[in-house]
Amino acid sequence: MNMELALQTFFEESNELLQDMEAILLEVDYSTITGEQLNALFRTMHTIKGSAGLFGLDAIVLFAHQVENALDLLRAGALSLDDTLAGLLLRCHDHVKSLLEATRQETAAPIAAGTPLLAELAALLPAEPETPEASVQPQQPTGHQVQRWLVSLRFGPDMLRNGMDPASFINYLHTMGQVERIQALTVNLPSAEHFDPETHYLRYELLFHSDCSQQQLCDAFEFVQDDSQILICLASEAERHFATLCATLCTAEAEALHQVWRDFGLFPAAKPASVAEVIPSISQSPRAGRTADNLFIKVEAHKIDSLINLIGELVIAGAATNLLARRAADPQLREATEVMAELVEQVRAGTLSMRMVQIGEVFQRFVRATHDVSRELHKSIQLHISGAETELDKAMVDKVGDPLMHLLRNAIDHGIETADTRRQAGKSSDGHVWLNAYHESSSVVIEVADDGAGLNADKILRKALERGLVSPAETLSESEVFKLIFEPGFSTAEQITDISGRGVGMDVVKKNIEQLHGSIEIDSILDQGTTFRIRLPLTLAIIDGLLVQVGQSTFVLPLEAVIECHELPASQTPSAKRDYFDLRGEILPLLDLAAFLEQPASHHARRNLVVVRAGIDKAALVVDALLGEFQTVIKPLGQLFRHLKAVSGSTILGSGEVALILDIPSLIHSACLQEAAELYSGNQPQYRGATSAQMTEPGGKNNEE
Amino acid sequence: MTETLAIPSELTIYQAPALHQALAAALQSSTALQLNLSQTSELDTAAIQVLIWAQREAQRLGKPLSIVEPNACVLGFLSLTGLSSALRFGEAQS
């Protein structure tokens, strides 16, 4: 019953429709567009117009009406879709979107911006009567002939509560034609205390004269289609639909309906209704193709958030119970708590999956962006999307959009060369950009790749030297050089365009990704292309952790980063000097957590090694004891601890103790730095692009022995 | 004696629950009831449903309830929504 809520629904619906419209305009091949797609296109604007009318949003109605007219001509074949028209329609789409946004924000609608668009549309419209094709459309569903329709409306019970009134729809019908008869049926109104003043109980039968098509009439009710039973058919054919309609009704309603239809003169031959032909009529609804929508329930985000919060508490409480049960040494109690833990785990997974949305939603925006950017730059770009169905936490999907957009624009602007340059390099003149998403262990990887010029390591290094970002004495591997482009204020663009290259951006991209606990890598081959690879955790709320003990404190390592655990070989007590660990021939940097975290020296006779990974980097961490797996609800750290590099959050253990969650990428970074520092102090200038194995094999072994 | 129930000039879903309660209570307590719709300025389907319900309840309970002096706003709404025959109007009594 709340108008605000209804408006909210209207905005959401309209935005979805606008997305549909955009998708169709961008995806179709103009020459092979199907009637169905044209219909869908028409329906988007038509529905927006209709719904906007219900809310009295005249500015939107007026504008949408003109667009709808153009789309109607398109549908009728009087106009054909080409680059210019698609461009105009896209701009109209943008204008409707900005009108909607202005309404939502309650700011002044930018109506003036639509005037030139209206002029362009108007230029298309009057051409119609002269166009020969328009008259030779024998099977046009939009026959402009007035017909007598039966409109049977059984709106859903929640309609009033949702802020809509049947009277508005009937008023709207009055704008589309003439209502000959209208009869409301009140048989469903319950008596006594069963009556709820906010529930809708009525049924409306109308005889209606209009030149609109069945489709257009159905579209008028698109807004309430999902929970209403609506039949619109020619009055002369109504009789055939009676049986189907009655099949879903109670006897009283069916009898009343029969009475009304008889009054309307819809049963000419006084034939008993029961022998009427059974024709599936309701399933002919225009949105039959969207029935999948009905499988979804829209839930307010904060409800899920508070549920997830509760699950988090449940996980902690469960862990406490487990701990107590283990101490009590009562096998039955233990068994019971284990079953509980299993269920909690399932509930947790289920709840988190509710927050998961497909990343395709974000990718869709890029189709349009590519289209616009490539036009502006006069480059022909083909965008290839794969893995759009990969699921990611909703909060992440929202936040990853901007950095991705930036990378994409960069790829098109700086990555892809001009058509001439490409031809000279022996490439196809069309540039290709790939957006790819996939799951890898418990993270999501999103790649933005192009087949452009690639990153020029020498140029980047020169620039970095100029700006004093690196000292000439430093030797950097290629990947380290690439990482320099993420430094603040670094831009190699020779030509600064509108799209990108203002010298801000890549550092912001990196910061954004890191805020999501993600990481970003670059692969680039000169003249062949560049790939940016973003790795994100699946969710921000709860992780599986490995509980480890270091000194007197307990820490959590995200389980997704842990590869394996080992006992620290007695021969390999970490020395203060260079540390490494030989894992079956693979040499890994070794980091003693106790020393690194400045914990008091431990008295454990046996210590353990945890091999961890972040991206492609691996390291071995020395811990005192492994305490087992633990589901961890991440609690953010306060402002005070913001500068702590290697800690990403905290959690509360079953025992009530606080444990810090360690940030693996920065730990590995530290391990590498420490090693590098020792290398340099040891006066062993080496190109670190070589694998660590080559680097440590000869010297390292000798040191140990 | 006939009790005249005060009817707000706005009769919409916002008033419908209160109207429903007031009518339910009045149907229990009074012997005869009169609703005057001459001052109605706004009306919607939710409110009309309550009025239809009240009239049926009165009949079921055997208590006289008359709805009187519908103004143009009320009659216009009823004819728009095809509910003209759903409400019966009586003669105003003072």
Among chain B residues, the shortest Cα distance to A165 is held by B45
Q: How far is A1 from chain B (nearest CA, A)?
A: 7
The answer to whether B39 contacts chain A (CB < 8 Å) is no
DSSP A389-448: T-EEEHHHHHHHHHHHHHHHHHIIIIISPPHHHHHHTT--SSEEEEEEEEEETTEEEEEE
The answer to whether B59 contacts chain A (CB < 8 Å) is no
pLDDT score at A489: 65
Among chain A residues, the shortest Cα distance to B59 is held by A191
User: Other CB atoms closer than 10 Å to residue A487's CB: what's the count?
Assistant: 15
The answer to whether B57 contacts chain A (CB < 8 Å) is yes
> B13–A1: do the CB atoms touch at under 8 Å?
yes
Contact A366, A404 (CB under 8 A): yes
Q: What residues of chain B lie within 8 A of the CB of A205, using their CB? A: 82
> A167–B20: do the CB atoms touch at under 8 Å?
no
- When scoring A159, A195, A205, A261 by the number of chain B Cβ atoms within 10 A, the one with the most, hence best to mutate, is A195
> A170–B81: do the CB atoms touch at under 8 Å?
yes
> Counting beta carbons within 10 angstroms of the beta carbon of residue A332, is it exposed (0 to 12), middle (13 to 18) or buried (19 or more)?
exposed
- Beta-bridged to residue A532, according to DSSP, are A448, A522
Q: What residues of chain A lie within 8 A of the CB of B82, using their CB? A: 181-184, 204-206
Among chain A residues, the shortest Cα distance to B27 is held by A192
pLDDT score at B49: 92
Residue A682 backbone zone (phi > 0: left; psi -120 to 50: alpha; other: beta)? alpha
d(CA A19, CA A63): 18
- Element (DSSP H or E) covering residue A449: strand A443-450
The answer to whether A191 contacts chain B (CB < 8 Å) is yes
- Amino acid identity, position A521: E
> B60–A186: do the CB atoms touch at under 8 Å?
no
ipTM: 0.90
Q: What is the DSSP letter of A293?
A: G
The answer to whether B28 contacts chain A (CB < 8 Å) is no
Average pLDDT, chain A: 77
- When scoring A173, A181, A196 by the number of chain B Cβ atoms within 10 A, the one with the most, hence best to mutate, is A196
Contact A565, A517 (CB under 8 A): no
The answer to whether B27 contacts chain A (CB < 8 Å) is no
The minimal CB distance from B56 to the residues A160, A182, A189 is found for A189
Q: What residues of chain A lie within 8 A of the CB of B42, using their CB? A: none
Q: What residues of chain A lie within 8 A of the CB of B76, using their CB? A: none
Average pLDDT, chain B: 85
Distances (CA, A) of A125 to A193, A213, B9: 57, 20, 47
> A167–B81: do the CB atoms touch at under 8 Å?
yes
Among chain A residues, the shortest Cα distance to B16 is held by A197
The answer to whether B25 contacts chain A (CB < 8 Å) is no
State which residues of chain B have pLDDT below 50.
Answer: none
The minimal CB distance from A198 to the residues B17, B56, B77 is found for B17
> B81–A204: do the CB atoms touch at under 8 Å?
yes
pLDDT score at A533: 92
pLDDT score at A353: 79
The answer to whether A197 contacts chain B (CB < 8 Å) is yes
Q: Can you tell me which residue has the tokens 């487990």?
A: A322
- Which SS3 state, helix, strand or coil, does residue A248 take? coil
B87: nearest Cα among B61, B72, B68, B71? B68
Q: What residues of chain B lie within 8 A of the CB of A160, using their CB? A: 13, 44-46
Handedness of CA A361, A362, A365, A366 (dihedral sign): negative
The minimal CB distance from A198 to the residues B46, B56, B82 is found for B46
The minimal CB distance from A184 to the residues B13, B53, B81 is found for B81
> A198–B56: do the CB atoms touch at under 8 Å?
no
> B49–A189: do the CB atoms touch at under 8 Å?
yes
> A171–B44: do the CB atoms touch at under 8 Å?
no
Q: What residues of chain B lie within 8 A of the CB of A186, using their CB? A: 52, 83, 86
d(CA A149, CA A266): 11
DSSP A509-570: HHHHHHHTT-EEEEEEETTTEEEEEEEEES-SSEEEEEEEEETTEEEEEEGGGEEEEEEPPG
- Which SS3 state, helix, strand or coil, does residue B34 take? strand
Q: Which pTM does this prediction carry? A: 0.45
- Amino acid identity, position A306: S
Model confidence pLDDT, tens digit, residues A666-691: 888 777 777 677 666 654 444 343 33
> B45–A200: do the CB atoms touch at under 8 Å?
yes
d(CA A299, CA A29): 36
Q: How far is A254 from chain B (nearest CA, A)?
A: 18
Q: How far is A45 from chain B (nearest CA, A)?
A: 27
Handedness of CA A550, A555, A560, A561 (dihedral sign): negative
> B80–A182: do the CB atoms touch at under 8 Å?
yes
> Residues 6 or more apart from A488 whose CB is under 8 A from it?
A504, A507
- When scoring B10, B11, B12, B13 by the number of chain A Cβ atoms within 10 A, the one with the most, hence best to mutate, is B13
d(CA A498, CA A360): 27
Among chain B residues, the shortest Cα distance to A178 is held by B80
- Rg of chain B over Cα atoms, rounded to whole angstroms, equals 12
- Element (DSSP H or E) covering residue A381: strand A381-386
Contact A468, A462 (CB under 8 A): no
Among chain B residues, the shortest Cα distance to A182 is held by B82
Count of pairs with CB atoms under 8 A, one residue in A, one in B: 72
Q: pLDDT means per 10 residues in chain A (705 residues)? A: 73 86 81 80 84 81 85 80 83 88 81 81 61 38 70 86 84 84 86 84 88 82 80 82 77 81 72 38 40 64 82 82 84 88 85 81 82 82 87 82 86 84 85 88 84 84 80 79 77 48 65 81 87 81 80 85 83 58 82 80 76 81 85 70 75 79 82 70 44 36 36
Q: Can you tell me which residue has the tokens 């059974």?
A: A278
- Beta-bridged to residue A548, according to DSSP, are A555, A626
User: Other CB atoms closer than 10 Å to residue A132's CB: what's the count?
Assistant: 7
The answer to whether A317 contacts chain B (CB < 8 Å) is no
- Which SS3 state, helix, strand or coil, does residue A611 take? strand
> B83–A186: do the CB atoms touch at under 8 Å?
yes
Residue A56 backbone zone (phi > 0: left; psi -120 to 50: alpha; other: beta)? left
- Which SS3 state, helix, strand or coil, does residue A500 take? coil
DSSP tally for chain B: helices H, then strands E:
3, 6
User: Other CB atoms closer than 10 Å to residue A351's CB: what's the count?
Assistant: 18
Model confidence pLDDT, tens digit, residues B48-70: 999 999 988 888 888 888 888 88
- When scoring A5, A153, A160, A204 by the number of chain B Cβ atoms within 10 A, the one with the most, hence best to mutate, is A160
Residues 120-179 of A with CB under 8 A from B: 160-161, 165-167, 170-171
Among chain B residues, the shortest Cα distance to A198 is held by B46
- When scoring A151, A180, A202, A203 by the number of chain B Cβ atoms within 10 A, the one with the most, hence best to mutate, is A202
- Beta-bridged to residue A450, according to DSSP, are A433, A530
